[in-house]
């Protein structure tokens, strides 16, 4: 027998009143926003791509000592810019790609699930048109008040 919805939906399986259940949901949502607000130590605009011939416009490597990184890509250009993101962790190298079109903003989360830390992140950007720029920022620390 599968799950079947019941109406009205019971939001209070623990016997709470409706107001107590709503309060619990609001507290949980607030906790999630508080965790998101703990992003800090952004390195702003560590790389700007300006290139007209389609070659690699920027290549940077960053030495790291944390386990989780959030990379923020922000485009301000007329065409797409593709970033090749390589990172090393526990002797292995991983590569992914992030393409930013126009004025998009995109996030890439790199998490090392092993015991060791991510050793470095190398970012290479190829710009396809004149005066294409991408601003890049990396959060060097993600802090959480409680383990999940």
Q: What is the pLDDT of residues 7-33, one digit of tens each?
A: 555 555 566 677 777 777 788 777 767
List strands edge to edge, sheet with 118-127. 56-63, 118-127, 80-89, 92-101
Share of the chain residues as helix, strand and coil, in percent rounded to the nearest 5: 15, 50, 35
Average confidence (pLDDT) over 27-47 = 61
Kindly state whether residues 20 and 75 are assigned to the same domain. no
pLDDT of residue 145: 41
Cis geometry, peptide bond prior to residue 64 (ω within 30 degrees of 0): no
Kindly state whether residues 49 and 74 are assigned to the same domain. yes
Kindly state whether residues 19 and 55 are assigned to the same domain. no
State the average pLDDT for the chain.
Answer: 60
Cα 52 to Cα 57, 68, 124, 132, 137, distances in angstroms? 9, 34, 15, 8, 22
pTM exceeds 0.85 for this model: no
Kindly state whether residues 45 and 95 are assigned to the same domain. yes
Rounded distance, CA 110 to CA 87, Å?
9
Per the structure, how many domains does the chain have? Answer: 2
* Residues spanned by the domain of 8: 1-38
Q: What percent of the chain has pLDDT over 90?
A: 0
Whether 148 is covered by a domain: the verdict is no
Whether 32 is covered by a domain: the verdict is yes
Report the CATH number at residue 98: 2.60.120.680
Kindly compute the dihedral angle of the four CA atoms of residues 84, 142, 26, 14, in this order, to the nearest 10 degrees. 100
């Amino acid at each position: 027998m599968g799950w079947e919805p019941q109406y009205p939906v019971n939001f209070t399986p623990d016997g709470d009143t409706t107001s107590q259940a709503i309060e619990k949901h609001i507290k949980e949502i607030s906790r999630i926003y508080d965790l998101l607000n703990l992003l800090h130590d952004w390195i702003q605009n560590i790389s700007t791509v300006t290139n007209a011939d389609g070659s690699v416009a920027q290549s940077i490597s960053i030495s790291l000592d944390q386990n989780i990184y959030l990379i923020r890509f922000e485009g301000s250009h007329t065409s797409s810019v593709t970033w090749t993101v390589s990172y090393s962790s526990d002797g292995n190298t991983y590569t992914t790609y992030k393409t930013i079109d126009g004025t998009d903003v995109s996030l890439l989360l790199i998490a090392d699930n092993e015991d060791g830390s991510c050793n470095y992140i190398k970012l290479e950007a190829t710009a396809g048109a004149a005066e294409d720029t991408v601003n890049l920022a990396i959060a060097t620390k993600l802090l959480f008040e409680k383990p999940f």
